[in-house]
Amino acid sequence: MTALLPHLVRRLGFYLLAAFAALTLNFFVPRMMPGDPATAIFARFQGKLDPAALDAMSTAFGISDAPLYTQYLDYLLNTLHGELGTSLTYFPAPVTAVIGTGLMWTVVLAGTALVIAFAAGSAIGAWAAWRRGGLLDRIAPPLLAFIGAFPYFWLAMVAVWGLGFQLGWFPVRHAYSPEVSPGWSLEFVGSAIQHAFLPAGTMIVASLGGWLLTMRNTMVGVLDTDAIRYAQARGLSPRRILWHYAVRNAMLPSLTSFGMALGFVLSGALLTEIVFGYPGQGYLLLQAVRGQDYPLLQGLFLTISLAVLAANFAVDVLTLVLDPRIRR
Amino acid sequence: MSVLWCHRQARVGLILLALMVLAVFVGPLFVGDPDAFVGRPLDPPSLSHLLGTTGQGQDVFAQTIVGGRTTLGLGLVVGLAVVMVGSVIGGLAGYIGGRVDDVLSFLINVFLVLPGLPLMVVLAAYLPAGPGSMAAVLILTGWAWNARVLRAQVASFRRRDFVEAAIVAGESPMRVLIVEILPNMASLLGGSVLGATTYAVGAQVGLEFLGLGDLGAVTWGTNLYWATNDSALLTGSWWTFVPTGTCVALTGLSLALINFGLDSVTNPALSADVGRGAPGPQPTPVRRST
Amino acid sequence: MSACPILQIKDLHVAYGDTEVLAGASLDVQAGELVGLVGESGSGKSTLVQGALRLLPFPAQINGGEVIVDGVDLLGLSHAELRRTWWDKVSLVPQNALSALNPMLTLRAHFDETLLAHGITDPAERHKRAEDGMRMVELAPSRLAAHPHMLSGGMRQRVAIALALVLDPQLVVFDEPTTALDVVVERQILDQISSLRKERGFGAIFITHDLTLLQSIADRVAVLYAGQIVENAPVAELGGPKSHPYTRGLLAALPPRLDEDRHAVPIPGAPPRVGDAIPGCRFAPRCVEVVAACSERPALKLVGPGHQVACVHALAVESS
């Protein structure tokens, strides 16, 4: 394990640097945007916020008279303290609270959909490659490529129309029924699952093809190598070859992609949330954009960036642990 | 190109793509003005209006055909641009190596971990509407992936014997890149362009659907935006969004099929007709003629 | 030399789809002897052996012939039966151990899985066999805990040899085992193979494109040209007066040793491409001794004890 330390430190270094870059980018973007955040905020907040909070907001949006680098440092300090400002559209809720509510829904919805799509897609893809030239192998790739080629929200809309309106099997909007109050009751959880069906289901159907194809192609490549021939020549059973040679060697590239996708979970559910009115991060992002809610926008962007970086780092660590070739 | 034609799936893809390109670039000459009011709003398909009318009484057929021109056109241009930017940056990083590589790789990695869709949404919201802004947003969020792939390829080619030989023989770096390395990457570049175009079309449609594009223009994305706005689902007017969606899907399908063909050419093991569906590696079969 | 062949390949035909790559090749290996299989790249050396063992991947298929090992025709066995025969009766040493070994598994795991697949259920027994194997090829048993990429090329090839011998097979196929190694390591590996053969008494097929190698280790050599065996001779008879023109050409093309008074003379032209239909002798277009009769494909004729040549010039003798 100690042999891995220098690699880990290097990767951590990169991610810290990237996080820093994300923070900096976040600082400069409002200052570069057309329109005047300064006036907007001032006009809406004057008299409603205490001077300290107003100062923090001003700093974050480049309103103050202090030189740029002071503003930058103040912004960094504020951010590290979790002081992200107050949302304009959800006034007077602080940005952190607004993001907090959205976070859970997005993570649960998109996270579940990703895990299911990845697991099912990879499993089917691996199976298709194992039974090379069989029915599954010949039909699945083009079929799923076609389904995946439809714009995601289009599939979602068709699902809403068909399964939601026409057949009435599933609810078509929101994360849970408005009659049920949030909490850990069975009723609430049940309602949440029912409401998650269409959004998650459409996400899974749309992304299944991608995972399937990636795994299939990787497996086909692995099955073509000398190692498989050699394993066969030694009389190893097909089961042994499937799991310890084919799957084990094909897993790594897939896992790397999975990790990256995991990072994007916070952002990837955007279209889903909008079509289904699901109150997650993506939905909030669009609201923030439309409402010129700069504090919320900045906060959302920050959380998403940091989540992506964290997920990528986790994948890097996992790869380091699983691939013996990197250790020396 | 001829090799691609032999591949059944690629052939279908090429024909499909050709038909679509023909339809959207030549078609507008034959259909009426997509913005014109031609009949009762939300009229189902009929003989007078092949695909019915929109919520604003416009001809869906005309909108579908004309919409494709901008979407496909911009998609192809952006696809090419993304690959060009990606190859230049990735190629330089892979070829020169050392410090330059460190800096460029860092840049690529940062752009890779920036969340694409939110960034797109934010940029699209704040830039003035129009194809130029759309192109800029798409290129900015899309170049990094290609850059990484191409960097890895160029770096591996750089170390190959025939490249080292060319360098020692005194060929200029430009010549080495263009004459020695580039031809070997033809299929990878082709595949990248296909992928980037798919991404460009999809992202365009997505952003416009969210209302972040040029709402005055007629594109596939705006067609879908207006369809939702006019409550297509609630009124059951499927003809206002099915044709456009299907066109987008057919475009994506054709590009994917061509890509399958390209994959098979570079890696024959990936062709569709290898193996007979038996589980795993099998012993060589014995077929006696008598 | 005892007349009990451990492997008999009779008239093997291998094709890739419609293209025939091996048109009726026959080869015998007697117990304890080392048969060299030599030919240019693409001549079909690996195809012959891998095809005989039914290890060629899709789209290869066997269109005819027999492959007898221990009285059983491999071409008639089921997948399950083949799995028991593989490695137990015939094993392989691959050309490049790095690509043949599983990078995810330790060396010990490779031994364990091979032994388990052949019914050695006792862990202590497996442990012992693996360690004995390593010692046999002069490697420390502690290296078993390593992963393939951690060893040098030469060490990896030795592990491959140890693995090939772990079930005590009658026949070991060496598929260009030293091509990827430098000459010093190559010599070590060859010496290792020779001493192991003396110790264990297994028969071997040694595939290579390097004829000089075979001159020092082989008992017999089979020469392959364009998918056909053109000569099968005791190593001492190679290049002699009864030899095939191609063999003589190969020897003449070798760089001369310091004590030899000759220049290397390459064979003009190039071998035919796979699938090119050539009536008659396939070497005729490049042969210096070509005559009109070469337009008919010559059969392998016995020209001396244990010496067969497929050439119209070969004078057949009575088989003893």
Q: Sort out which chain C residues have CB atoms less than 8 A from A226's CB and list them.
A: 94, 96, 99-100
**Sign of torsion, CA C310 C312 C313 C314?**
positive
Nearest-angstrom CA–CA distance, A105 and C118:
53
Residue among C87, C147, C149 minimizing CB distance to A233: C87
Burial (CB count within 10 angstroms: exposed 0-12, middle 13-18, buried 19+), residue C145? exposed
Contacts with B, A 58-77, CB within 8 Å: none
Which amino acid is located at C77 in the chain?
A: L
Note the pTM of the prediction, 2 decimals: 0.81
Residue with tokens 């030293």: C178
User: Over 70: is that where the pLDDT of A78 sits?
Assistant: yes
Domain ranges of chain C: 7-225, 244-320
Identify the CA nearest to A288 among candidates A275, A305, A274. Answer: A274
**Helix, strand or coil, per DSSP, at residue C172:** strand
Least-confidence region, from A99-113, B262-276, C268-282: B262-276
Contacts with C, B 109-168, CB within 8 Å: none
Burial of A14-50, coded b for 16+ CB within 10 Å and e otherwise, reads bbeebbebbbebbbebbeebeeebbeebeeebeeebe
pLDDT at B62: 85
Nearest-angstrom CA–CA distance, A264 and A311:
8
Nearest-angstrom CA–CA distance, A207 and C308:
63
User: Over 60: is that where the pLDDT of B175 sits?
Assistant: yes
Nearest-angstrom CA–CA distance, A231 and A220:
16
pLDDT at C92: 94
Q: Within its chain, how far is the Cα of C190 from the centroid?
A: 14
**Tokens read off for B52:** 């019915």
DSSP single-letter state for residue A291 = T
- HSE on the CB side for C306, CA within 13 Å? 19
pLDDT at A37: 58
Nearest CA in chain A to B110: A18
Nearest CA in chain B to A310: B113
Given a contact cutoff of 8 angstroms between Cβ atoms, the answer to whether A156 and A198 are in contact is yes
Asked if B283 has any chain C CB less than 8 Å from its own CB, the reply is: yes
State the pLDDT confidence band at C100, using cuts at 50, 70 and 90: very high
pLDDT at A229: 92
Q: Which residue has the higher pLDDT, A260 or B74?
A: B74
Locate all alpha helices (DSSP H) within B127-210, ordered by sequence: 131-158, 161-168, 173-175, 186-209
pLDDT at C9: 93
Given a contact cutoff of 8 angstroms between Cβ atoms, the answer to whether A191 and A180 are in contact is yes
Overall average pLDDT of the C210-230 stretch: 89
pLDDT at C1: 45
Residue A47's region, left for phi above 0, alpha for psi from -120 to 50, else beta, is left
How many Cβ atoms are within 10 Å of C230's Cβ, its own excluded? 25
User: Over 80: is that where the pLDDT of C261 sits?
Assistant: yes
CATH of A100-291 given 3.90.105.10, 1.10.10.10, 1.10.3720.10, 3.30.565.10: 1.10.3720.10
How many Cβ atoms are within 10 Å of B172's Cβ, its own excluded? 11
Beta-strand ranges (E) seen in C239-305 are 301-304
Record: contact B284-C76, CB cut-off 8 A: no
Phi then psi for residue C278, to 5 deg, are -125, 115
Q: Which residue has the higher pLDDT, A174 or B30?
A: B30
Record: contact B282-C55, CB cut-off 8 A: no
Overall average pLDDT of the B91-101 stretch: 85
Nearest-angstrom CA–CA distance, B268 and C100:
21
- HSE on the CB side for A223, CA within 13 Å? 29
Sheet holding C19-30, edge to edge: C19-30, C5-16, C60-69, C72-73
**Tokens read off for B165:** 């030989």
Q: Which of A234, A242, A247 to mutate to test the interface with C (most CBs of C within 10 A)?
A: A234
Min Cα distance C88 → chain A (Å) is: 8
Record: contact C55-A232, CB cut-off 8 A: yes
Q: For B200-254, how does the pLDDT look when each residue is reduced to its tens digit (9 = 90+)?
A: 998 889 888 888 878 888 899 888 888 888 776 677 777 888 888 889 989 988 9
> Quick one: which H or E segment has residue B171?
none
**Tokens read off for B146:** 């290609």
End-to-end CA distance of chain A: 11
Contacts with C, A 41-60, CB within 8 Å: none
Q: What is the 3-state secondary structure (H, E, C) of A134-173?
A: CHHHHHHHHHHHHHHHCCHHHHHHHHHHHHHHHCCCCCCC
pLDDT at A41: 62
Residue with tokens 């490249």: B163
Neighbours of chain C (3+ CB pairs under 8 A): A, B
Given a contact cutoff of 8 angstroms between Cβ atoms, the answer to whether B252 and A203 are in contact is no
Beta carbon pairs, A and C, within 8 Å? 72
User: Over 60: is that where the pLDDT of B263 sits?
Assistant: yes
Q: Which of B273, B286, B289 to mutate to test the interface with C (most CBs of C within 10 A)?
A: B286
Winning range, highest mean pLDDT, from A307-316, C16-25, C103-112: C103-112
- Domains of chain B (ranges; CATH) run 2-268 (1.10.3720.10)
pLDDT at C101: 95
State the pLDDT confidence band at C164, using cuts at 50, 70 and 90: very high
% chain B with pLDDT above 70: 96
Which amino acid is located at C295 in the chain?
A: S
Burial of B83-119, coded b for 16+ CB within 10 Å and e otherwise, reads bbbbbebbbbbbbeeeeebeebbeebbbbbbbbbbbb
Nearest CA in chain C to A246: C102
Nearest-angstrom CA–CA distance, C33 and C205:
8
Given a contact cutoff of 8 angstroms between Cβ atoms, the answer to whether A61 and A294 are in contact is yes
User: How much is the mean pLDDT over chain C?
Assistant: 89
Angle at B77 between CA B75 and CA B79, to 5 degrees: 65
Identify the CA nearest to B197 among candidates B87, B81, B88. Answer: B81
Domain ranges of chain A: 100-291
CATH number of C7-225: 3.40.50.300
Residue with tokens 């010599």: C187
User: Over 60: is that where the pLDDT of B290 sits?
Assistant: no
Question: How much of chain B is in helix, strand and coil states, percent to nearest 5?
Answer: 70, 0, 25
Given a contact cutoff of 8 angstroms between Cβ atoms, the answer to whether A273 and A199 are in contact is yes
State the pLDDT confidence band at C89, using cuts at 50, 70 and 90: very high
Overall average pLDDT of the A197-213 stretch: 87
Q: For C268-312, how does the pLDDT look when each residue is reduced to its tens digit (9 = 90+)?
A: 888 888 777 778 888 888 888 888 888 888 888 888 888 889 888
User: Over 70: is that where the pLDDT of A93 sits?
Assistant: yes
> Quick one: which H or E segment has residue C215?
helix C211-217
CA distances from A280 to A140, B116, C24, C278 (A): 32, 17, 70, 72
CA distances from C207 to A60, B243, C5, C44 (A): 73, 63, 18, 10
Burial (CB count within 10 angstroms: exposed 0-12, middle 13-18, buried 19+), residue A76? middle
User: How much is the mean pLDDT over chain B?
Assistant: 83
Which amino acid is located at C219 in the chain?
A: D
Q: For B106-149, how does the pLDDT look when each residue is reduced to its tens digit (9 = 90+)?
A: 888 878 777 777 777 777 777 777 888 889 888 988 898 889 88
Q: Sort out which chain C residues have CB atoms less than 8 A from B270's CB and list them.
A: none
Given a contact cutoff of 8 angstroms between Cβ atoms, the answer to whether B253 and B20 are in contact is no
**Sign of torsion, CA A116 A119 A124 A129?**
positive
Identify the CA nearest to B120 among candidates B196, B205, B222, B198. Answer: B205
pLDDT at B45: 79
ipTM for the predicted complex comes to 0.90
